[in-house]
Amino acid sequence: MDARDTQAFDNCLKEALAQTREWMPRWLTQLQTALRDRESQTNQMSEKHGLMQARSDLETYRDRIATGFLASMAEAVEQALPRSGSAPRRPKSVSFDELELMGDDQVQETVELARVQQVVQMSVDEEQLALTALLSTAQGYELVNADSNPLRAEVMVAALMKTLKGLHVQPAVRARWLQAGALSLGSELRDMYLQLGMMLSQAGIEPAAYALIQAPESRPAPNANAAANAGSAPGRGGEAEPGNEVLGSDALLTLDHLHQLLVGNLDQSGDTPSDQGASGSGNAMVRTLASEVVSLMLKRIASDERLLPPVREMLQEMKPALLQLARTEPRFFADRQNPARRMLDAITERSLAFTSEQDRGYGPFSGQVRSILKALKTPGPDISERLEQLLEDLNRSQAEAVAPAQVQARGLAVQTLVRVEQRNLLAERVAAEIRSRNDFEKSPGVVRRFLTSAWSQVIAQARLEVSQTPSIKPADSPAFRYTELLADLLWSSQLALASLNRPRLVKIIPSVLRTLREGLDSIEYPREQTESFFQALMGLHEAAYKTQRNEPPVVDDPPSVQPDMDDEPWMQRTEARNSCLMDDVFLDSPLTSTQPAFLDTRPLQRDWADLKVELAGQQASNLPVGTWVDISQDGQAVRWQITWASPHGTLFLFTGANGRSLSMTKRGLDRLQEQNRLRVVADHGVVDEALDEVARQAWLNSAKADGL
């Protein structure tokens, strides 16, 4: 990226903050006026009272809203910035899982947010597109990247909503604020986008070009045309054939409908007896809504390009069976333990491992899925039982496909990584104990740094071995000797003290050096990395022996070159081998063998971090277990899944489609991401994301249905 472009992008964000400080008080004044006008125009006493309350609360919280929005905006903009190696993140509206836990008031508030976003978006659409094209160029994109605009309207509205939710006001008050202020908020944002766009243009930034992206092709599901034409309208008593129930073209799945479907609170007056609301299976409306959810879910999966085209086509062939299941179990997709939901999760999860039909293991996997489809083609009431058995067969065949040696290697890797983290955590406590000694601060820096780094690892390792071998008495253990060494080592390194008692110095030097080498060998610490310390230590001993009593004490100058202790887990060579540590992350260093050797990269934009106390980082090491990533190795992208993370999140284990294991440190993950060598493919399940998209579509439909 050109330095001029980087500066222009930074200046744009700073200017946005400055302008927001100006227009936010103005918007609050406009909101106050709008509430007063609505109050004077309504004849309903309840509405008039509600508007009076909203206007009164606005006056009370005016300053808090202004200052709180600036902080929320800073955080929202930071989180909305495109991340290297990360997949684009859609702004959060409502997730499928959250919807089931919501109350009716929360659902209505979520719909209100959608309406406000729609009004604001309509006001700023043209100006936002122009600004996004300029910001795309400023961030190094040749084509327009929608996520490159962290100031887009949906981000700003979400920041405002977060601010308002932090106030102790009733939901009805917040709703009136949003309703009355949506138009003026859109107007203020439109003016800001225009000014920011002119500023970027004056800085010489040219807008990026728009790319024409064709929708991915996918094979239509069997009987797709019939399904579109054979649906029966709810409440008319007619029933479509299994697999053909869909809503008419004029019907929309709203958030309220979806919420009621999930909580089982729909009217149970159907054309056949129901089960008192336990499943809603006797109600035609329930079945119809469930069928629409299934159709929308599969449509979203069909457009997911992370899955290979043949996999997407095979999943569409499951539609008749899933729609049939929706008749008797209309909420099966929301139950993670339902056999059908587990089957969808299992197939999509495994399919993410493959980037090509030629990948090893894809052929057998594809054959298994086709066998499942064949078994599901026969209609019948036992579809759930068949899915349960088919799922067991699929899981068993996948487990058998992994070689026993790979299973054993993975077990050894996990065991090794657990031990590494335990030792490093204990080493941190040992280092704290050493620092608390009275004679610690008086010793030279070279000794202090050695003791709180390499030697704390030695003591930690010895203590772990003692805890695992109860037969060894504490006084006879190496841990005792390594700790007892501290007094002699610290004393002998202080020239002013050691020079006063040369007989003692001569006596302890051999045992000190012998014990040091023994301890370092116990953790396989590379000798070549300790030579600089031993040379410095022997230099101190020699100086102490030669120093006359009437001479001033020698100062530790120049400063030691020993590295400071950090939070990077230290790993022995044997441990690195047993845990399958990534080769190009493994590099010897004075303290740690896992310090990655990466070139300097352009620092992330952090100016906005000063606007709040602490920003939640979005580093790769925050990725949950189950995440699929592509890692660049030798110029090629290799697909891996995070299958294990240490309890404290310092070490990670990956598994490839071929069963191979790969471990990495937290720092290694972060460095790979900064180097654009790690790309997140999926950090949530494909089915989860598809259902979230269904909820989002219902959310948008709700706003379109009622308007503002």
Question: What is the average per-residue pLDDT within 615-643?
Answer: 76
Collapsing DSSP states into helix, strand and coil, what is residue 571? Answer: coil
The yes-or-no verdict on residue 249 having pLDDT over 70 is no
Q: What's the pLDDT tens digit per position in 503-529?
A: 999 999 999 999 999 999 999 888 887
Average pLDDT over residues 348-370: 92
Residue 55's pLDDT band (cuts 50, 70, 90): very high
Of the given ranges (55-64, 178-187, 374-383), which has the lowest mean pLDDT?
374-383
- At residue 85, the pLDDT reads 44
pTM score, two decimals? Answer: 0.69
User: What pLDDT was estimated at residue 563?
Assistant: 43
Average pLDDT of the chain is: 80
Give the span between the Cα atoms of 95 and 114, in whole angstroms.
Answer: 14
Which of 314, 319, 351 is closest to 333 using CA atoms?
319
Mean pLDDT for the stretch of residues 471-493: 86
Residue type at 420? V
Element (DSSP H or E) covering residue 457: helix 456-468
Has residue 221 got a pLDDT over 80? no
Query: Which tops the pLDDT comparison, 114 or 685?
Result: 685
pLDDT higher than 50, residue 341: yes
CA 398 vs CA 309, 366, 707: distances in Å: 21, 12, 50
Q: What is the band of 606 on the pLDDT scale with cuts at 50, 70, 90? A: very low
Task: Please report the pLDDT score of residue 593 as a whole number.
Answer: 36
Starting at the edge strand found earlier in the chain, the sheet holding 651-656 runs 661-665, 651-656, 636-645, 628-633, 678-682
Q: Per this entry, what is the length of the chain?
A: 708
pLDDT at 233 over 60: no
Banded model confidence at residue 97, pLDDT cuts 50, 70, 90: confident
Name the DSSP class of 611.
Answer: G
Residues 669-704: b if buried by 16+ CB within 10 A, e if exposed = bbbbbbeebbbbbbbebbbbbbbbbbbbbbbbbbbe
Amino acid at 134: L
The Cα 521–Cα 543 span in angstroms is 27
- pLDDT tens-digit series, residues 100-112: 788 777 787 788 7
- Residue 346's pLDDT is what? 95
Pick the CATH number of 579-684 from 3.30.450.20, 3.40.50.970, 2.40.110.10, 2.30.30.140: 2.30.30.140
pLDDT greater at residue 102 or residue 218: 102
Residue ranges of the domains in the chain? 3-212, 250-401, 437-546, 579-684
Q: What confidence score (pLDDT) does residue 605 get? A: 34
Q: Do 330 and 280 touch, CB atoms closer than 8 A?
A: yes
CB crowding 572-599: b at 16 or more within 10 Å, else e: beebbebbbbbeebbeeebbbbbbbebe
In this prediction, residue 675 has a pLDDT band, given cuts at 50, 70 and 90, of confident
- Asked if residues 386 and 375 have their Cβ atoms less than 8 Å apart, the reply is yes
Which residue has 């020079």 as its token pair? 499
Q: What mean pLDDT do residues 541-553 have?
A: 71
Q: What is the pLDDT of residue 595?
A: 33
Cis peptide before 558 (omega within 30 of 0): yes
Question: Strand, helix or coil at 145?
Answer: coil
Separation CA 264–CA 252 (nearest Å):
19
Backbone φ and ψ of 100, nearest 5°: -65, -25
